[in-house]
């Protein structure tokens, strides 16, 4: 409670919370319903998968361009934030007004890609605006707020679309862009004034020649290997649940429980991260926790048990709320150029996002899903154990 009071005394922190709440409200409902929206607007079902691949390619290109700019203009790359939000708004307006199916299919990945391209900048702002001692707690609070407004956004989108229609609903949500942009500009101005990092520890990344050292960072490699399977596996979670549950109401309740757990547990997980102050170890524990969720799903599949399946939601909710704040703390502790590091995460995650669904779908067509769930559990345990070993210096740097 004292930590929350300390943070909320600073206007810039409150402003950042409002910014995250608004941008989540605008986008999460759209993102969650995008596949259905595309089919509703006439895009063939076979094209919908390609739309999400294009999204990852766009994020990859934007992140790569940002890294090149970061080398030249460093922290001033934060000025790209309002530009990305402006392009997002224009794309949304065209998406709302056009009836051209091809243009709708092209604009969908542009909209979501531009939103995802903002994520590294948001994470940079967190690291600059928040002191190290409160970083985990604040990241947990933001995760709670994002989960809450994601749930609200999806509920409101569904309700309004059924009453007002798709175009009018999207237009009304887009009105929130105006205060979002104003707050974002204010935060960029404040952040640039506050910018002050220690010397870069990762070999003074100031040239393209040295930049390759960043991509050899251990945690960045672990993050990439995790995403390589996790992104594709998450696509098939709905299939796994449907195979056992056969009831959309129960599936909906399971996903709702996931968000509710994150809302309430995130601040405590973040506070634990601050007090424990061993981000690499907690990242390893989060990977093992994620492995536990897949192992529980495996058992649920073996015994055709809905209660066992429902239990999997607990480690599924805990794993990311341990992982996310500790990535923030890890990068802060490096004292490195966080613009570069978070853009590197975006690049490697986007590459994994392009390849992961192909890898997973190829594996699932060749083996039984329950065997696949067991393999994922073992894979994540290995990643977690290797990360824990790294924490205690048994692996070379």
Average pLDDT score, the chain: 81
Of 29, 51, 42, which is closest to residue 172 (Cα–Cα)? 29
Q: How far apart are the first and last CA of the chain?
A: 38
The predicted pLDDT at position 33 comes to: 77
Q: Which pLDDT band, with edges at 50, 70 and 90, does 374 fall under?
A: very high
**Alpha carbons 346 and 121: distance in angstroms, whole number:** 11
From residue 31, how far is each of 4, 20, 217 by CA, in Å?
A: 30, 15, 31
pLDDT (average), residues 286-310: 87
Q: 303 falls in which pLDDT band (50, 70, 90)?
A: confident
Q: 133-145: per-residue pLDDT in tens?
A: 888 888 888 888 9
Domains of the chain with CATH codes: 8-196 (1.20.1250.20), 202-397 (1.20.1250.20)
For the ranges 293-302, 322-331, 336-345, which has the lowest average pLDDT? 336-345
Distance in angstroms (rounded) separating the CA atoms of residues 95 and 91:
6
Helical residues (DSSP H) of the chain, grouped into ranges: 2-8, 11-40, 45-73, 80-97, 101-129, 135-164, 166-174, 177-194, 208-211, 218-235, 237-245, 248-276, 279-303, 306-311, 313-334, 338-364, 369-391
* Residue 394, SS3 per DSSP: coil
Confidence of residue 184 (pLDDT cuts 50, 70, 90): very high
Res 127: pLDDT: 82
pLDDT on residue 238: 66
* 40-89 pLDDT per residue, tens: 888 886 676 677 677 778 888 887 777 777 666 666 778 888 999 999 99
Tokens 């903002």, residue? 118
Q: Is the per-residue pLDDT at 240 higher than 60?
A: yes
Model pLDDT, residue 85? 94
């Amino acid at each position: 409670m004292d930590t929350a009071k300390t943070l909320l005394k600073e206007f810039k922190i409150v402003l950042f919370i409002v910014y995250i709440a608004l941008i989540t409200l605008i986008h999460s409902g759209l993102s969650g319903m995008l596949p259905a929206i595309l089919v509703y607007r006439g895009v063939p079902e076979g094209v919908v998968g390609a739309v999400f691949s294009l999204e990852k390619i766009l994020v990859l290109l934007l992140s790569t361009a940002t890294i090149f700019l970061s080398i030249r203009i460093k922290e001033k790359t934060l000025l790209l934030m309002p530009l990305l939000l402006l392009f997002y708004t224009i794309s949304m307006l065209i998406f709302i007004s056009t009836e051209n199916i091809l243009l709708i299919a092209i604009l969908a990945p542009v909209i979501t890609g531009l939103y995802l391209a903002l994520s590294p900048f948001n994470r940079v702002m967190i690291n600059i605006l928040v002191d190290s001692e409160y970083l985990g707690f604040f990241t947990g609070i933001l995760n709670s707020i994002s989960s809450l407004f994601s749930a609200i956004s999806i509920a409101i989108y569904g309700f309004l679309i059924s009453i007002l229609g798709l175009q009018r609903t999207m237009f009304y949500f887009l009105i929130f862009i105006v205060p979002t942009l104003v707050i974002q500009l204010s935060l960029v101005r404040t952040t640039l004034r506050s910018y002050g990092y220690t010397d870069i520890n990762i070999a003074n990344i100031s040239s393209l020649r040295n930049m390759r050292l960043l991509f050899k960072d251990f945690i960045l490699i672990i993050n990439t290997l995790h995403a390589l399977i996790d992104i594709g596996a998450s696509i098939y979670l709905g299939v796994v649940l449907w195979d056992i549950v056969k009831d959309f109401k129960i599936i909906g309740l399971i996903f709702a429980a996931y968000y509710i757990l994150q809302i309430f547990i995130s601040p405590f997980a973040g506070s634990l991260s601050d007090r424990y102050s061993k981000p690499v170890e907690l990242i390893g524990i989060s990977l093992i926790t994620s492995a536990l969720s897949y192992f529980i799903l495996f058992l649920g599949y073996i015994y055709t048990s809905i209660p066992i399946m429902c239990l999997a939601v607990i480690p599924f909710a805990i794993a990311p709320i341990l992982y996310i704040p500790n990535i923030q703390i890890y990068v802060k502790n490096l004292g490195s150029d966080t613009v570069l590091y978070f853009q590197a995460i975006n690049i490697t995650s986007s590459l994994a996002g392009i390849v992961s669904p192909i890898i997973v779908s190829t594996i699932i067509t060749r083996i039984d899903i329950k065997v696949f769930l067991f393999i994922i559990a073992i894979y994540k345990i290995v990643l977690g154990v290797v990360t824990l070993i790294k924490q205690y210096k048994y692996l070379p740097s």
